[in-house]
Each structure stands twice: as C-alpha cells, then as structure tokens.
Amino acid sequence: MKYTITIILLFLSMVFAQTTKQRIAVLQLEADGVSDKESITLTNRLRSELAKTGSFTIIERGEMDEILKEQGFQLSGCTSEECVVEAGRLLNIRQIATGSIGKVGALYTVAVRLIDVESGEILKTVTEDCQCPIEQVLTNSMRNAALKLSGRMRTDTGIQSLGEGSGDIFIKTNPSGADIYLDNIQTGKTSPATLQDISAGQHFIKVVKEAYIGTKSVTVNANDLITETITLEQTTEENPVFKSYFSGGFNLLLHNGLWGGTVPAYPENEPTPLNYNGYGFGVNADYRIFKYFGVHFDINYYNRKTALAQNGGYAESDWVWEMNDYDQRLVGPFEYDAFYTVTSTGARLGVKVFPLQNNWFDPWVGIYFGYYTWTAGIYSSDNKKTYGNTSGSLTSPTYLNFGADFWNKDKTFGLTVFCELGAPVVKNYKIEDCIRDGWTFTDYGEGFHLFGFYRLGVSLNFTTLKPTN
C-alpha cells in the first residue's frame, strides 16, 4: 500500500508539472548590427529551442500576429517595457520574452528578458556572447539562451569558453588540399593540417576547395588535441566559393599581313604587296583576383614579312619612280630574294573581365597596354643581308581582346583560345639608304600596323591550384 501511494504521488506530480508549463510569447529580437532577415531567423530558432526545454508552451508566431492584428495592435517597433507588457495582456498570457541581437566587431551578443505581464516585472535576464560566425550563434547561442531562461543552464555571462588556455585541432578532409577557415577567417593552411594554440571554447571550421565545401562546429579544450575529419560536398549555391589563383603558360599566334601602300616597293607587275600571314609566340601570366576580374601580363615576339623582289628580279613603286626623278618605276636587279620584314617585341599589362562563371569554361574580354620595340627593313630571307632598315619603340593600348579558357576538372591545366583586334600603328618613320645608297623611304602618316590587325592564338596554361586527390 505504501509503494502504491508513492507511485500515485509521483504520477500526480508529473501530471501537475506538465499542466503547469508556462504559456509564453516570444517577440522578434531587436536587430542591432545584423539584418532584419537574420533577426527573424534567430528569433524563430529561439522559439524552437525554448519549446525543446519542456518548460514553456510557445505561442506560434502566426497565431500571435493574428490575435494582435484583430486587436489593432502594431507590433513593429514594440521595444519598450510598457509596449511589451501591453502585447502580453492582449495575448492573454502571463509571461512574454523579448530582447535583442547585436554585433560589435566580431562579437555577437544575445540578450533576452522574460517579463511578468501582470506586474511588468523582469523575471529573468540572460545574455549570451559569442565571438564566432553567425551560423554558430544560430545553433549554439540560441540553444544556450533558451536553456538559461528555462533554468536548465547557469546564467553566467561571457564569451563561450571552456576555461583558460588553448588547444590544437588536426583537420583532415576528403578530398585533401582544401583551404581551412577558422571562425570564417582564412588560416592560410590546406588540409591535412594542424591549427595550433586555438583558444579553448567553441569554434566554427569551414573547408573549401573549388565548388566543394564542408563545415563543422568543434569544441576545443585547454591543453588538448582534437582530430576532425570533414567530407567536402558540392555546394548548391549559385555562386560557389571562389579562390584567387595565378596561371602562366606560353602562347602561339598567327596574324595577318601588311596592307598596301606601307612598303617601299613590291615585286614587278604586282600592284600591291603580296598577302601573307605572320607568326608570334611568347609567355603569359595571369592573376585571377575575383570571380569576374583578373590581371594579365604577356611578353611576345612577332615576325612578319612580305616579298619585295626575287633574286635577279626587279621591284617597283611610286616611291621608286620619285627616287628616279619620275623616269623609271623599276629598281633592280636584286642580288638575293628580298623581303620587307617587320619584327617587334612587346610587353603588355592589362585587365580581363569574366562575365560568366563555369568551372571548366571561362569566356573573357580584355584591355591591354603595351610597350613595344620594333625593326622594319628590307632583308634577305635569312635576315643576314639588308637593303636598309630602321627601328624604334612606342606605347599603345589594344582594346578588342576576347577569348575563352578551357580547364580540366581540377582547374590545374587549361587551354586558352583568343582573338585580338586592332594593333599599334607605326607612322612617320624613315629608312635611310633604302635599296640604294642615298635613297630615303619616308612614311608620311599612313604607317603600318606593328603586327597584324587581327591575331588568332592559343595558349597552354598551368595554375597554382592544387589537384583533387
């Protein structure tokens, strides 16, 4: 009989405890240093965590808004104690929770007050500080605040900590080679790696490799080493985490020839210079700083020539006619095959814009500014003999540059296909002792393009990104 009475009393106490849960409302936390959207999300999480404690029955947000709307009560901007108490009376509850979420520097602080509606007295105030990313505020700080309000956790204030001192975290990832972030700050290390002297307490780890990401919250104990293995998953974000990188390689290109009227002479019976294609080659380096922007640098050599006369043959032009006192348009015979040849070497620095984002296909447009040295003259086919030449230098931009980068899966190796339109123009130059001693060929402003007006090329590139294991 004694045991029966005891069991009944225990049962009754449990029923009584269930029926005495406080029915409370939670007003939206006032935002200070965080967005309203973040404040709404954090407030909803606080409601959920308070319900989990088993100490409260929470009025749903929709029900609360509907009741206050029927009463014509404006909840927006309701932060004073009088306004909060009035809202509680209209909701016909005994207790109401209100507070704020703020950010100072890298520190988030959550303050929640539980108010007695009848008396207006503040029954309990809890604060929860966290020098951590806001994701950890959502998962940890809201839970701790709820536990403190319910009396299930001590209400000591302070940054989440597990005592003085520090510990180490050894981080492994699958795959390896991921950049490691601690509390949303890049550590400069890639996995696997050990983060040393990390303050005791709760921390947020994020690991990133290209479009793959992994996250984990960890607890560091003083003088302890913990090991965490994180598996990376492909992000579902429209714009995955971007990592800047360097790339470099070498390029080959073809460009079109000179246009008419810019050479001293041309083969006999040919009204204009012969068409031809020149070539070029060089090295290039790029620094992709942001998703949509990068810096480009290259050094290239260009060579192009057009036939002027064959061995034993003649050349002609209006300029030759002028040099012969308008008596003879022909000059020759030449002792070897002669070509009008232009060579140039240039260094260019510019910017590229990447309008589309794709892991393996990156189209771009660019603007470059370059410094060039050049040589122009009449040479033999092996460039060892000359009938006169000149040289110079100039600076000039090239505006119409566009192409596309094609990358392998890890973006460690790629092929670039590009096209360049426009070229610097050399004008008002002279070639002394051109073809014959005493003759001077003078350009009066028409000039010639330093290299072909359009250029088509390919470039093989390697990046500083590490391959996926």
Q: Which of 137-146, 353-362, 364-373, 415-424 has the highest mean pLDDT?
A: 364-373
**Range 217-224 average pLDDT:** 84
CA distance between the termini of the chain: 71
H/E stretch holding 336 reads none
Q: Give the CATH number for residue 221.
A: 2.60.40.1120
| Domain carrying residue 72 | 20-149
Q: Are residues 35 and 66 in the same domain?
A: yes
Total structural domains in the chain?
3
Which residue, 208, 234, 260, sits at the end of a domain? Answer: 234
* Token pair 């190796």 in the structure block, residue: 413
- Does residue 177 form part of some domain? yes
Q: Is the pTM of this model over 0.75?
A: no
Separation between Cα atoms, residue 231 and residue 18, nearest integer Å: 42
State pLDDT tens for residues 387-431: 999 999 999 998 889 999 998 877 888 999 999 888 888 888 899
State pLDDT tens for residues 15-70: 444 445 788 888 888 888 888 889 889 999 999 888 888 888 888 888 888 888 88
Q: Are residues 279 and 334 in the same domain?
A: yes
What confidence category does residue 158 fall into, taking pLDDT thresholds of 50, 70 and 90?
A: very low
State pLDDT tens for residues 429-462: 899 999 999 999 988 777 777 777 788 899 999 9
Q: Are residues 198 and 103 in the same domain?
A: no
Cα pseudo-dihedral 227, 231, 237, 240, rounded to 10: 80
pLDDT value of residue 351:
96
Q: How far is residue 169 CA from its own chain's centroid?
A: 28
Measured at the alpha carbon of residue 357, what is the angle toward residues 397 and 455, in degrees to the nearest 5?
35
Q: Are residues 192 and 104 in the same domain?
A: no
Separation between Cα atoms, residue 419 and residue 263, nearest integer Å: 26
pLDDT value of residue 22:
80
The share of the chain scoring above pLDDT 90, in percent, equals 22
Structure tokens given for 90: 């209209």
**Range 141-145 average pLDDT:** 84
| Long-range own/partner contacts, residues 76-84 (CB < 8 A, 24 or more apart) | 78/27, 79/30, 81/115, 81/120, 81/122, 82/120, 84/27, 84/115
